[in-house]
A and B are shown apart, each in its own frame.
Chain A
C-alpha cells in the first residue's frame, strides 16, 4: 500500500497543474453523467411500444378534397384488397408515427378538462388489422360501429389504453366508466395493453405517454382517405408499392400523399430520426470528451515525469523498486481524479438542475454518480499508465548526474 502523505506533499508544490486536472475531471464528470442521462432518455423514447403490429403494417393516405367519402372508401378498399399479398385492409384516421388526426380535450364531468388524449377511429376490421391487444373488457360488435356526426358518433363505446385508464381512474376498474368531449359521450368497454399516440413525446404534456382512445366508426364522410394494410413483413415493401399504384388508379381525382403512404417501420424510423441524431451527437460528445480529458492527463503526467527525473533517480538509487515508482504515479493520479470527482458530483447536480429548469429533463438518478466515478477512475489510470511506466524506467544512475 502506497503512503499518500508524500504524494500530497509533492502535489502541494504543483497546485496549479493539480487543480487543472481535477477541474478537467470535474467538468468531464458533470457533462458525462448528464449526457449519458439524456441519451438514456432518448433511447427509452426510441423504443416506445406502439401497440400495433408494426412490421406487418403499411399506410395509404389519399388527400381527396370534395370526394364522397363512402364512394372513395369503397373504390379504394376494393382496389387495395385486390393487391396480391394483402391480408386485410381497414379505414382508420391515423396509425402510430403517422400524422396525428384526433387530439381532443376530455372531461369526466362535462366541466373540467382533465386530459388531451389522441382519438384513433377505425372502421370494421381495424382492430384486427392493426393487431391491437385487448387486456380487459369485450370486443367491438356490429352495433358498436355507428355513423359519425362530423367527427364521432354522439355515443361511442371505446377502448382506452391501460396507462390512460390509470390516469383517469387511478386504482379503479375502468370498464363501464364514462367521459365526455364537448357534446360527444364515451363509454369504456375495453382496455388495451398499449397504443401510443401517433407522435409519442410530441409536446402534449410530459406525462402524456400513452394516452390513446380507440373509437369504432362506420367509414364515410368523416372517416376516409387513410387506409391501413396488413401483409406479411417480407411482402410489405412490394405490397406497398403496388398498393400505391392501385389506390391512385382507383381514385384518380385524389392526391396520394407519398410522405404518409409508407410502411409503419419506415414511418417510425422517420419519426425518430431527430432523436437518433441527438443520441449520435451526445455519444460523439462523450467520446470526444473522454479522449480530450485522457490526452490532458497524459500531457501533464509526462511533464511531471520529466520534471522529476532526478528525484525518481534518487528514489531508485536508495532502494525503491520500479513497482514503487509506478504505483506512486498511479496513486497520485487516483488522488487527483478523486478530488475531481468530488467537485464533479456537485457540478453534475448543478447541471442537472439547470437542465430540469429549462428542458423538462427529470432528476438524475443517484446511481449515475458511482458509475461515472468508476469510468473516470478507469480513464485516469489508463491515461497515466504510459507516463508512469516511462517514469518507472528511469535508471537510478540519473541520481548521480549534475546535482
Chain B
C-alpha cells in the first residue's frame, strides 16, 4: 500500500505545483534556519572531553580579603594557594595553567618576531586532557621542577614555521630565551577552550572568546613564569601589584588549577582537602574566610560560566520560533490542499477505503513533503554554516555539519511535516462520502 500512497502523493504534489513549492519552501527555510543555529549550539555546548570530563575538577579557594563566605569565590587562584594545592598531589593528576602574551622570535625560520599567546602548564596537562602528539611528547616532571627550557608547539605553528616536518630538537626563541622543541601536537581544537574558561559571569553573555584556538606554544609552568616574567595578566587584584606583570607575591588571582580524580568516591575526600586547606590558611592569618571553597567538575564549571554565547542562544530560539510559525503555516496549507480533494476522498471511502487508509495516504503525502523540504533544508543549513564560517567570531572554524546533525536535519523535517499533516489528515478522513458524491 505504501508504494501506492507514494504514487498518489507524487501525483498530488504535481497537480498543484505552486502550493507544493510553498510548502516545501516553508519547511526548507524553517529547517535550514533552525538546523544552522542548532548545529552551532550543538558544537559549542558539547562536552570538550567526552568520557573524561566527569573526572576533571576545578578547585577554588577565596584569597580575597574582601570576599565573603556567602559569595562565590574568585574565578582563579593566587600563586601561593595554587602552588600549595598542586604540590600536595592529592589528586590523580593535577596541572597548573596560565596564559600570557609573549614575543616569539623565529629567526631560524627567517620570519619577523610576532606576539603570540603562550600557555604554561605542568606536564599532567597533556595526559589529563588527552592532548594528542604528532611528534615527540610531553616534557617530564623533572623538566617541570628544573624549569627546563623546553616547549611543545601546535600543529598550526609547526606548519607555519617548519612546513609540518618533525621539528623536535629544534629551537624557538621566546622573548630572550632559547627553548628546545620536545613535542609537536596533532591538530587539537577543544570546544570551548575549556582549560581557560573563567569570568563568564562577568562577560554579559558575550562569551565567544571562550572558543579561541589553543595557544601556539606550550611551556612548562615555572619555565613560562621565568621566561615571560613581567607579562602576566591578573584575573583581578584587590590591591595594585608592586610590579605589574609579576604576580608571584602580589595580592592577585591569576592561576588555574585543574585536577583529575578518577575514583568518584575520592571526590568528597578532595573536596574536604580543599576546604581544610582554606581553613588552615585562615588559621594562619592568610585568608580572612574559608567557607566558600568550591570543587566543580568540568561541565559544572562550564555551566557556571555560561559558556554558550547568549547571541547564539538567542538566534537558536528565534530560529525555532520561526520553524514553529512555518509549521502553523503548513498546517493551514495542507488543510486547504487535503480538503480541496474532498470529492476524491469521498470516492475512495465509498469504494471501501477505511478511514485509517485515507489517514495513512495523507500522512505519506505530508512525509514526502517533509523529505523534499528536508533535502532543501539540508542545503540551506550547509549555506548557513558556510555563512557562519565567514564571520569574524572565534568559533567560526568549528561550524560544520557532523553526521548526527545531518541525520537530525531529515528527522526534524519529516517529523515536523508529519506533525503538521496530522490535523489536516484527521479532518480529511472525517469527510462524509455521501455529501461529496452528491456534488461530484
Contact = CB atoms under 8 A, between A and B. Distances in A.
The finding on whether chains A and B are genuine partners in a shared complex, rather than unrelated, reads yes
B57 to A, nearest CB: 27
A201 B267 CA distance: 40
Contacts of B244: 150-151
B274 interface: no
B353 to A, nearest CB: 23
A303 B340 contact: yes
A277 B240 contact: no
Nearest to A183: B240
Interface in B322-337: 322, 324-326, 328-329, 331-333, 335-336
Contacts of B423: 16
A395 B243 CA distance: 92
A24 B332 CA distance: 9
Interface in A353-385: 355, 358-360
Contact of B325 (A66, A203, A206, A289): A289
Interface in B304-332: 310-311, 313-315, 318-319, 321-322, 324-326, 328-329, 331-332
Interface residues of B, number: 55
A27 B332 contact: no
Contacts of B22: 295, 299
B348 interface: no
Given A150-B240, A255-B103, A292-B29, A21 B332 contact: yes
Contacts of B242: 150
A40 interface: no
A270 B393 CA distance: 11
Contacts of B101: 63
A281 B315 contact: yes
Interface string A196-211: 0000001111100000
Contact of A27 (B33, B103, B321, B339): B321
B329 A16 contact: no
Secondary structure call for the A interface: helix
A31 B322 CA distance: 8
Contacts of A184: 240
Contacts, number: 129
Interface in A309-368: 355, 358-360
Interface string A276-291: 0110011001001100
A355 B393 CA distance: 23
Nearest to B423: A16
A277 B389 CA distance: 13
Contacts of A300: 332-333, 335-336
B265 interface: no
Interface string A257-300: 10000000000001001100110011001001100110110011
Given A182-B240, A274-B393, A28 B325 contact: yes
A295 to B, nearest CB: 5
Interface in B79-112: 101-103, 112
Interface stretch (B39-47, B185-193, B199-207): B199-207
Contacts of B68: none
Interface in A13-61: 16-17, 20-21, 23-24, 27-28, 31, 35, 38
B328 A20 contact: yes
A20 B335 contact: yes
B176 A296 contact: no
Contact of B115 (A255, A299, A306): A255
A302 interface: yes
A172 interface: no
A402 B437 CA distance: 12
Nearest to A252: B112
Interface string B407-436: 000000000000000010001000000000
A65 interface: yes
Given A28-B325, A31-B325, A63 B340 contact: no
Interface in B249-296: none
A203 B205 contact: yes
B322 A203 contact: no
B169 interface: no
Q: Which of A184, A257, A295 has the most CB of B within 10 A?
A: A295
A34 B274 CA distance: 47
B68 to A, nearest CB: 14
A296 B328 contact: yes
A98 B103 CA distance: 21
Given A17-B332, A299-B336, A302-B336, A359 B326 contact: no
Nearest to B236: A105
B318 A285 contact: yes
Contacts of A28: 325
A17 B335 contact: yes
Interface string A96-114: 0000000000000000000
Contacts of B243: 150
Contacts of A38: 314
Contact of B310 (A31, A182, A295, A359): A359
A24 B333 contact: no
Interface string B332-355: 110110011000000000000000
B205 A299 contact: no
Contacts of A257: 115
B176 A303 contact: no
A292 B326 contact: yes
A13 B114 CA distance: 75
Nearest to A35: B318
Given A150-B240, A299-B22, A24 B325 contact: yes
Interface string A66-79: 10000000000000
A145 to B, nearest CB: 21
Nearest to B114: A255
Contacts of B318: 31, 35, 281-282, 285
Contact of B329 (A24, A278, A306): A24
Q: Which of A278, A292, A358 has the most CB of B within 10 A?
A: A292
The 3 residue pairs across chains A and B that have the minimum distance between CB atoms: A203-B204, A303-B336, A296-B329
Given A17-B336, A274-B393, A303-B336, 7 more contacts: A17-B335, A24-B329, A151-B244, A203-B202, A281-B318, A303-B339, A355-B314
14 contacts: A23-B328, A27-B321, A31-B321, A31-B325, A66-B175, A150-B242, A182-B239, A202-B206, A255-B114, A288-B33, A292-B325, A299-B332, A300-B332, A402-B439
Interface of A: 16-17, 20-21, 23-24, 27-28, 31, 35, 38, 63, 65-66, 150-151, 182-184, 202-206, 255, 257, 270, 273-274, 277-278, 281-282, 285, 288-289, 292-293, 295-296, 299-300, 302-303, 306-307, 355, 358-360, 402
Interface of B: 19, 22, 26, 29, 33, 101-103, 112-115, 175-176, 202-206, 208, 230-231, 239-244, 310-311, 313-315, 318-319, 321-322, 324-326, 328-329, 331-333, 335-336, 339-340, 391-393, 423, 427, 439
